[in-house]
Amino acid sequence: MDYFQNFKDRLATKEQEQNKRSIKFYEPIDAVRVKCENREFIMMASNNYLGLTHDIRVQQAAIQAVQHYGSGSGGARLTSGSFPLFNELETAISDFKHTEQALIFNTGYMANVGTITALMNKHSVIISDELNHASIIDGCRLSGAQIERYKHKDVEHAEYILKNYKSAHKMIITDGVFSMDGDIAPLDRLYELSKDYNALLMVDDAHATGVIGNGRGTAHHFGLTDVDVQLGTLSKALGSVGGYVAGRKELIEYLINYSRSFIFSTALSPADIGAALEALRIIHDDSSVVDTLRKNTVYMAHKLQAMGIDCDDETPIFPIVVGENDRALTLARELKERGIIITAIRPPTVPVGESRLRMTVTAAHSKEQVDYVAKTLHELLVDMNIH
């Protein structure tokens, strides 16, 4: 077998399907403007929801952490890599989330894979929303558990499945805010279900932390205090990189001992932890940046709605579903011509036939930027006969 010819053939198939990915390089100017090919663009595709990557306090905290602790951690958390800032950040996360303890992972992806594989095994059943993030799906697959997908946000369907597994070892898993659709999971009703059927409940707050529930995430949004596994990332609203799990102390101690992605990887660097800790302090001490995000979200939603574009104002993620890959790519290209970056999202990230532009608004966007983006988007959608 000619392996490399095989790689080429498979890439050619992706190209034909207009589904080939390539890396684009953007040079940030600030939290919402980037430079690329000697031009300036408004970034409308990032998860930097609070603009904290460019907050001087967060940047200074990263620099100070490097000066104090060095550039790298030099070891895994259970060997030599746990410097004291980890303890501070884990305590800050559990305080913020009102849980007993928290544990940092290297990414949200690793938190999902490491947590699900530690908690579930081949004797377990996982009840998972059909639109859950790829890292949840990968964790489920790797755990060897039986995977039962319920229709998106359909609690009755989840219950229908649970009835068949009354005595099993099981967990319900959902994104808190769905990454590609921006809608909020019915966590209150899933919570009831988890109690009725004695299942663990896990929520992935990657896009909810810093965004809903006063920034505290989906459980807080619904006034819930004891969701079993509250997972999230430091990489989006918190302007750094990393993942976390918050919950009861037995859960955290269990993960420290059984989660392979936690145990077998070098700990994050001081810069990552210092930045995340400061970002969390900012949100915790003063919710004004979270309030600004909310205001900008509502402003964008109302602008789009006034132009006849169907959308919600629940979260800062605005999916503009156009159907086929070529339409999504054309729309993204035309927007770029006009100085706006919004990435075209295609399968397998979203279902076939539901390719889209995933637009995000942040606390750092100005009213003028939002006005310009909404107006330009509307003109293009009319020109392309979409919506």
Ligand X SMILES: Cc1ncc(COP(=O)(O)O)c(C=O)c1O
Q: Which residues are catalytic?
A: 179, 207, 236
What is the rounded CA–CA span in Å between residue 128 and residue 133? 10
From residue 212, alpha-carbon distances to 196, 206, 215, 219, 294 in Å are 26, 11, 5, 9, 9
Task: Please report whether residue 101 would count as binding ligand X according to CB under 6 A.
Answer: no
Task: Please report whether residue 235 would count as binding ligand X according to CB under 6 A.
Answer: yes
Q: Which of 55, 129, 181, 204 binds ligand X (CB under 6 A)?
A: 204
- Which positions from 18 through 37 interact with ligand X, judged by CB under 6 A? none
Q: Cβ closer to ligand X: 133 or 221? A: 133
Query: Torsion angle of alpha carbons 86, 87, 93, 96, nearest 10°?
Result: -140
What is the rounded CA–CA span in Å between residue 130 and residue 75? 37
Q: Cβ closer to ligand X: 143 or 235? A: 235
Q: H or E element: which one contains 204?
A: strand 200-204
Task: Please report whether residue 181 would count as binding ligand X according to CB under 6 A.
Answer: no
From residue 321, alpha-carbon distances to 130, 159, 315 in Å are 18, 29, 16
Shortest CB 116 distance to ligand X, Å: 11
Angle formed at CA 328 by CA 326 and CA 331, multiple of 5 degrees: 105
Q: Cβ closer to ligand X: 187 or 381? A: 187
Task: Please report whether residue 48 would count as binding ligand X according to CB under 6 A.
Answer: no
User: Do 216 and 224 meet the contact criterion of CB atoms below 8 Å apart?
Assistant: no
Q: Which of 58, 96, 108, 255 binds ligand X (CB under 6 A)?
A: 108
What is the rounded CA–CA span in Å between residue 259 and residue 272? 21
The site map against ligand X for 117-146 (x = CB under 6 A) is ----------------x-x-----------
Q: Which of 128, 179, 259, 296 binds ligand X (CB under 6 A)?
A: 179
- Residue 140 tokens, joined: 């489920």
Task: Please report whether residue 112 would count as binding ligand X according to CB under 6 A.
Answer: yes
Query: What residues make contact with ligand X under the rule CB under 6 A?
Result: 107-109, 112, 133, 135, 175, 179, 204, 206-207, 233, 235, 243
